[in-house]
Amino acid sequence: MKLFAIGSDHAGYEMRLSIKAYLESRGFSVEDFGTFDREKSNYPEIADVVANKVAAGGYEGGILICGTGIGMSLAANKVRGIRAACVSEPYSARMCKEHNNANIICFGARVVGIEIAKMIVDQWIDHEFLGGRHQTRVDMITKIEENGHL
Ligand code: RB5
């Protein structure tokens, strides 16, 4: 069974619970890394945990939600091996899997409504990385990550 890691800050708290329930209703397993109350929290702390879990393996991918999705993606992308895409509509959610092999998807609870958020995770989960020329480009991203440049 596919296992996903999920996390949010306070801004994404309600949406995270809804997306977690939605994924479970689709038959997926979800490991929830908080935040576990509505108190103000620091998105890099949650991104750190989820991104390192995903990078270590054992997860199909990770989902990170904050106010905009931007802070989560910026922080998650600092973890080696992570390709976190911040998206706000379903087309980019599909492309970030097919072309970029994004292993974390981020979106903003203050940007998208819950139905768009569900479409975003569906498109990301239900499509596969296409490889080929896209693999060459993803390898270039990894090289920049490793060397600071191509
Ligand atoms: C919290 O107010 C907000 O800054 C955070 O959720 C996120 O949008 C940061 O990128």
Catalytic residue among 66, 86, 96, 106: 66
pLDDT at 76: 99
Give the model's confidence band at 56: pLDDT under 50 very low, under 70 low, under 90 confident, else very high: very high
Predicted model pTM = 0.98
pLDDT at 57 over 90: yes
Q: Which domains does the chain have, with CATH numbers?
A: 3-147 (3.40.1400.10)
Give the model's confidence band at 129: pLDDT under 50 very low, under 70 low, under 90 confident, else very high: very high
Query: Residue 11 CA: which ligand 1 atom is closest?
Result: 6
CA–CA separation, 86 and 147 (whole Å): 24
CA–CA separation, 49 and 47 (whole Å): 6
Is 70 touching ligand 1 by the criterion CB < 6 Å? yes
Give the model's confidence band at 13: pLDDT under 50 very low, under 70 low, under 90 confident, else very high: very high
- Tell me the percentage of the chain whose pLDDT exceeds 70: 100
Mutate to test the pocket of ligand 1, among 66, 72, 78 (most ligand atoms within 8 A of CB): 66
Query: Residue 74 CA: which ligand 1 atom is closest?
Result: 10
Mean of per-residue pLDDT scores for the chain: 98
For residue 42, report the distance from its CA to the centre of ligand 1, in Å. Answer: 8
For residue 89, report the distance from its CA to the centre of ligand 1, in Å. Answer: 19
Residue pair 66/8 in contact by the 8 Å Cβ criterion: yes
Residue pair 119/95 in contact by the 8 Å Cβ criterion: no
Is 11 touching ligand 1 by the criterion CB < 6 Å? yes
- Give Cα 99 distance to the centre of its chain: 15
Condensed to tens digits (0 to 9), the pLDDT of residues 103-127 reads: 999 999 999 999 999 999 999 999 9
Is 43 touching ligand 1 by the criterion CB < 6 Å? yes
pLDDT at 24: 98
- Hey, what are 82's tokens? 């992570």
pLDDT at 87: 98
pLDDT at 1: 87
**Which protein residue has the closest C-alpha to ligand 1 atom 7?**
67
The DSSP result for 31-87, as a single string, is EE----SSS---HHHHHHHHHHHHHHSS-SEEEEEESSSHHHHHHHTTSTT--EEE-
Residue pair 87/105 in contact by the 8 Å Cβ criterion: yes
Condensed to tens digits (0 to 9), the pLDDT of residues 75-88 reads: 999 999 999 999 99
